Every structure is written in structure tokens, then in C-alpha cells.
Amino acid sequence: MARKTTTSTKKSAPRKASSTRKESASPKQQKPVFRAGTVITLLLLAVMVLLAIYLNREKEAADIETTSTSEVTTYVFGAENGNVSSIEIKPADGETVKVARDENNVWAIELPFEAEADQGAVEASATQISALTVVSEVEGDPEIFGLNEPIYVITIEYADGKTHTLEVGDATPTNSGYYVRVDKEKMMITGLSGIDSLANLVFFPPYLYTPTPTALPATATPVPPTEAATATPTP
């Protein structure tokens, strides 16, 4: 009996088309533009820049304050002294000159002799006293600065009765000021022009009118003896 062969009707399942393809890859994760370390670095840099700006501004402010302090003007006689009521200048050589306010607050010359004063000239000198500035203070032997034998001794009296003396010594080596001593204590350098202006009171006393020289008392003029009176009589 013939063997009956059977043909396998089982068919292999068709391969899926996707089996030959790689499954579509999932989208890649993009790297951040700035990493955490970069952000921190930028922040630190910004802080350093701001700190540098702040410190620079603080330094500029300190420099301005220092400059302003160094430019403060110091006066030989402060404003607290009030109004000048008399000025007496005694030179090493020459006559002493003194001007003072009278009971009517009018300037008058008292020395070398009493006379009316040029108000404008004296008031300018009084203002000059208040404007004398301290260039620098000095220390040492007063003789070095010519203050043992001052060229001028200026005595200033104020309306409240307070009195100060200003001794004027040698000019500075640069001839830009004078060495002075206040009330026999503090020694300093003051401006040249201020002292020279005060010295003009000595060289050019502020008379309102040119004083008329005092006439000398009349004296008998001796009459020369005549030739006859002096002749020896003949015996």
C-alpha cells in the first residue's frame, strides 16, 4: 500500500518589516548650554567685578576726603579773637607805629605821635592780620629762625581786651614766607605778603594828612662884631 505523503501546510510566519530595521531611536538628550560649574564661575566673576568697583569707589572717596582735609586753611589768629582794636609794630630799627580805635570806633594814629589816620589803609592792615595763614609749624632753637632778635614785634589787641604778640624773624630760604612766633610759644611759617603789608605801617604810616613839621622856637641870631668894636684903641 502506497505511503501517503503529506505536505506540510504550515507556513512560516512572515518576518515583520520592522524586524530588519532598528527601532527608531529615542531622541537624544541635549547637553545644557551652561553647566552648573560655568554658572557658578560667572556668578563669582560678577561678584568680583562688583567688589572691585565698590572698593575703587571707596578709595576715591577716601582720597577726596584726605585732599579736602589737607587743603583746610589754618590762620595764625583765628576768627574767635574778634575785631582788632589796636596794632602796634615795633621794628628792630626805626620808630614804633601804633594805630588804635577811639571811643567812636574810628582809627587814629597814637605813635610816633597822635594824628588822624587814613581809615581805609588801617582797616586793610587789620584785615590782613586776620588773613595771616599758617604755611607750616616749625620746631627748634628760635635763634635758628632769627626770632631771638626779631625784625618786627607786632602787638595786636582785640575788642574784648585780649592781646597777642607776633615776632617776625628771618625770611625762609625760598623767600616765600617768614618765620614767626606767637606769644613766645608757637613757631611757624606765615606768608610773605601778609607780613610785608603790615610792615608798610612802619615805612608808610597811614596819616590822613601829611603832618606839618613842628617849627623850632625862635632863637636870637648873634650879631657879628663890627671891625670898629674889635679894634684895639691906639695909646
Q: How many CA atoms lie within 13 A of 143 on its CB side?
A: 0
Mean pLDDT within 184-191? 93
Q: What is the mean pLDDT of residues 98-105?
A: 93
Lowest-confidence range among 30-39, 67-76, 83-92? 30-39
**What are the residue ranges spanned by the domains of the chain?**
79-203
In angstroms, rounded to a whole number, what is the distance separating the alpha carbons of residues 152 and 84?
A: 18
DSSP letter at 121?
H
Q: Over range 174-189, report the average pLDDT.
A: 94
The reported pLDDT for the residue numbered 222 is: 55
pLDDT band for position 9 (cuts 50, 70, 90): very low
> Sorting pLDDT into bands at 50, 70 and 90, what band is 138?
very high
Rounded to whole angstroms, how far apart are CA atoms 27 and 50?
A: 42
Mean confidence (pLDDT) of the chain: 78
The average pLDDT across 125-141 equals: 91
pTM of the model: 0.59
Task: Give the confidence band of 115 by pLDDT, cuts at 50, 70, 90.
Answer: very high
DSSP string, 130-157: HT-BEEEEE-S-GGGGT-SS-SEEEEEE
pLDDT score, position 67? 44
Question: Residue 89: exposed, middle, or buried by beta-carbon count in 10 A (0-12, 13-18, 19+)?
Answer: buried
What angle, 0 to 180 degrees and rounded to 10, lies between the N-to-C axes of helices 119-130 and 192-203? 150
* 96 class by beta-carbon count within 10 Å (0-12 exposed, 13-18 middle, 19+ buried): middle
Contact predicate 167/151, CB 8 Å = no
Query: Which range scores top for mean pLDDT: 43-47, 75-79, 105-109?
Result: 105-109
- Which class is domain 79-203? mainly beta
Residue 81 has pLDDT above 60, yes or no: yes
Instruction: Judge contact between 144 and 154, C-beta under 8 A.
Output: no
Give mean pLDDT, residues 173-194. 93
